[in-house]
Amino acid sequence: MIKKATVSFIFLIAIIVVHAQDKPSLDKSLYQKRQLILDGDTLPYRILYPKNFKPDKKYPMVLFLHGSGERGKDNEKQLFWGADLFLDSVNREKFPAIVVFPQCPNTSFWNGVTFTKLDDSLRFNFPASKIPIKPMQMLLALTDELAKNNNVDTNRLYIGGMSMGGFATFDILWRKPHFFAAAFPICGAGNADQVNLYANKFPMWIFHGGSDPVVPVANSRLMYKTLKAAGADVKYTEYPGIGHDSWKKAFAEPDLLLWLFAQKKIDN
């Protein structure tokens, strides 16, 4: 049974990696290369500063978490999806922000995940361990470190992620329920039992493809339903007939950045 589940999971990962096709790109070298070192472990990340950056000004910050196909240690692959959205010249003028793309190691996921079976409606479980796995520990440390920067507006901290990064988005929200001002998980999944810890803390916009063969759409439907029932300010966009790469549709949403950068943290 374990062998069968492992083979099935490898198959799913292969599907995700296939989506990493060549595409036109903007100048990603504008994302500066950095790394966080903690207890002998290294978390690579890239950081984009606003055009005409002013050291005495505070800016909103976006943390975006990539999927499993972009894992590694080259500090490059995590920019394949999503980075161009924030590099777009119009967006840089209209929404000046600090944007961060960390990279998860090949050997792990961002957060604890267990695989059930291919024909399960959810397919994934997310243990609510108080002690997170190492990549999540590193990610939590990075968010705290970045928030200490005098140029970061701590009332306008945003997080989003796709696929594996969508898993991590839901995970980090219950671990840091008072930290972010908004979140946008794409084709992700999470632990619905933890929703009450953050449901009324900030707005969310969830995205998923209705025909996702990798992360079943039932996951986002469940999270949306549970968040709504808990009183959350949450929107859900499902794309009929779209598979796992719903991030393409989400990044093309004309109101995504307008919505995101309009959010400010409230005390509750």
- What pLDDT score was predicted for residue 6? 45
| CA nearest to 158, candidates 86, 213, 71 | 86
Question: Side by side, which strands form the sheet with 59-65?
Answer: 32-38, 41-48, 98-102, 59-65, 152-162, 182-186, 204-209, 234-239
N-terminal to C-terminal alpha carbon distance within the chain: 46
Under 8 Å between Cβ of 192 and 222? yes
Q: Which pLDDT score, from 0 to 100, does residue 11 have?
A: 46
Closest by CA position to 160, among listed 245, 62, 247, 250: 62
Cα(64)–Cα(17) distance, rounded to whole angstroms? 18
Q: What pLDDT was estimated at residue 212?
A: 96
- In the chain, which residues have pLDDT < 70? 1-25, 267-268
- Measured CA to CA, the distance from residue 213 to residue 246 in angstroms comes to 11
Give the side-chain half-sphere CA count within 13 A for 178: 2
Write down the pLDDT at residue 26. 86
Q: How many residues belong to the chain?
A: 268
- The CA-atom distances, in angstroms, between 60 and each of 11, 174, 182, 186, 259 are 38, 21, 11, 21, 13
Q: What pLDDT, on a 0 to 100 scale, did the predictor assign at position 268? A: 52
What is the C-alpha separation between 23 and 81, in angstroms, rounded? 10
pTM: 0.90
Distance of CA 254 to the CA centre of its chain: 19
Phi-psi label, residue 198: left if phi above 0, alpha if psi -120 to 50, beta otherwise? alpha
Question: Which stretches of the chain are DSSP H helices?
Answer: 2-18, 83-87, 89-94, 134-147, 164-175, 218-229, 247-251, 256-261
Q: Which pLDDT score, from 0 to 100, does residue 130 have? A: 87
In this structure, are residues 82 and 88 in contact, taking their beta carbons and an 8 Å threshold? Answer: no
Token couple for 13: 């990962």
In the beta sheet, which residues pair with residue 59? 152
Count CB atoms within 10 A of the CB of residue 267.
6
Per-residue confidence (pLDDT) for residue 138, from 0 to 100: 97
pLDDT of residue 13: 53
Res 119: pLDDT: 73
Chain-centroid distance of CA 203 in Å reads: 15
